[in-house]
Amino acid sequence: MTPAGADRSTDSYLPGHGNGGYRVLHYDLDLDYRVVTNRLGGKATVTAQAIQPLSRFSLDLGEFRVSDVRVDGRRVQYTHRANKLRIKPEQSIGYGATFKIEIKYAGKPVPISGRWGDIGWDELTDGALVASQPNGAPSWFPCNDRLEKASFLVKLTAASPYTVVVTGDLVSRRRGAGDTTWVYERTEPTAPYLMSAQVGRYELVDLAVGGVAQRAAIPPRLRTVFRHDFARHGEIMTTFESLFGPYPFREYVVVVADDDLDDPIEAQGMAVFGRNHVDGFRTHERLVAHELAHQWFGNSLTVADWRHIWLNEGFATYAEWLWSDVSGGPSVDALAARWHAWLAAQPAVVAVADPGVARMFDAQVYKRGALTLHALRARIGETAFFALLRSWVGEHQHGTVTTAKFREQAARFATAPLEDLFTAWLDRPALPPLPIRI
């Protein structure tokens, strides 16, 4: 009997998201969004390759009405319950075969609810945003919602007064009778949770001139305060390129939603802020640096399993400290001391290398992850440390990474074993002494 693809993934923290038996090569999304009624509909074409013989398989999809499913052009049997679209092709799919799944669907998109609140497609006061980390992608398109990467082509039609920004390079913009279709292509391998779409009455402005293309989509009334708060963005980009290596994508886009948001969120080549993060005083510039740093750590280099999340958040937090140091704020050493003291006052219950699903986004993972890098820098020295970061980014560009891979990479830049350092900082909850750079 030909086996079925599992409707669970191998991710240790989110096994219910993602599916087995195949890998996705490309997503082609042709979508239509009605802002006033919050209705999203369209057709998704998913190109996949079987990694085992398949008699049936599944995808993740939220609370939509599915009207038609085809595999290689033929209508097939399917069921759609509890955010799983289970498909039985007319004929079994052989190992190694490439096949196309076409899904027509429509409905009112709602976020995926869970322990971190509502994740994914979210209706704004006048528009919509997508913030999918870690499991919100099925809120707007059918996908294999795991950390494997694919390319994307997204066509999104909305009423012409609205600007549509999707992660990727703008290919075309076609205006019709009252509607405009925006077409974006994401050629770099991208995890589904890092795809994002933003719809709002935005003005497009430049973030910086020269070097990497940097632009923003903002509410026009925030133009003046935005220009002040993001005035140093070009300098942050230049600083990070000097420290980490070339920016890994063709452009970077900042979106400021005309609603308050709890936290900014990164997507591939994009970061989304709330209007409350723009005040004319650069109050939140550390977050600007943090989200940009994720383009290297989290987006180009994406964790292979959510238990490795410190490789995203610890690195982006340390990047905040590096920017503060060079821009006239508190030094890296001062920030390390401040956050070490804060950690010392907290219960020592988090092992950074595997914090547990309930503590994935715990501040201790962010701050102690950054301190791990500070301890490593103190141990191996300035030259070796930054050579390691550039090597780490360059050798794993657009790939997936693990803590074990980073330990192996770091060992190449050290003159003595590092296992004691990593064991103390990553594997054990007890807080080691403050690292002191000499």
Give the residue-averaged pLDDT of 236-240.
98
The string of pLDDT tens digits covering residues 70-103 is 999 999 999 999 999 999 999 999 999 999 999 9
- Contact (Cβ atoms closer than 8 angstroms) between residue 72 and residue 90: no
Structure tokens at 62: 């939220």
Give pLDDT, residue 2.
Answer: 59
Q: According to the model, what pLDDT value does residue 435 have?
A: 94
Query: Mean per-residue pLDDT for 322-326?
Result: 98
Give the chain's mean pLDDT: 96
Is residue 367 within 8 A of residue 315, CB to CB? The reply is no
Mean pLDDT within 379-383: 98
The whole-number average pLDDT for the span 290-315 is 98
- Token couple for 435: 């690292």
Task: Specify the CATH number for 303-427; select among 1.10.390.10, 2.60.120.1270, 3.30.70.270, 3.30.565.10.
Answer: 1.10.390.10
Q: What angle do CA 308, 313, 315 make, to 5 degrees?
A: 100
* Helix 363-380, helix 310-326: angle, nearest 10: 70
CB-based contacts of 99: which residues, under 8 Å, 6+ apart? Answer: 47, 48, 49, 50, 71, 72, 89, 93
Q: Does domain 203-295 have CATH number 3.90.600.10?
A: no
What are the structural domain ranges in the chain? 22-122+129-193, 203-295, 303-427
For residue 358, the model assigns a pLDDT of 94
27-36 burial, b if ≥16 CB within 10 A, otherwise e? bbbbbbbebe
What is the arithmetic mean of pLDDT over 18-22?
95
Predicted confidence (pLDDT) at residue 425 exceeds the cutoff of 70? yes
Say what the pLDDT of residue 117 is: 85
CB 59 within 8 Å of CB 7: no
Stretch 197-224: mean pLDDT: 96
Residue 1 pLDDT > 60? no
* Average pLDDT estimate for 124-131: 97
Give 26-79 pLDDT, tens digit per residue. Answer: 999 999 999 999 999 999 999 999 999 999 999 999 999 999 999 999 999 999
- Residue 385: its pLDDT value, please? 98
Give how far Cα 190 sits from Cα of 21, 166, 193, Å. 19, 13, 8
pTM: 0.97
Name residues whose C-beta falls within 8 Å of residue 81's C-beta, 6 or more positions apart in sequence: none
The answer to whether domain 22-122+129-193 has CATH 3.40.50.150 is no
* Closest CA relative to residue 109, chosen from 150, 72, 61: 61
pLDDT at 410: 98
With contact defined as beta carbons under 8 Å apart, do 97 and 50 qualify? Answer: yes
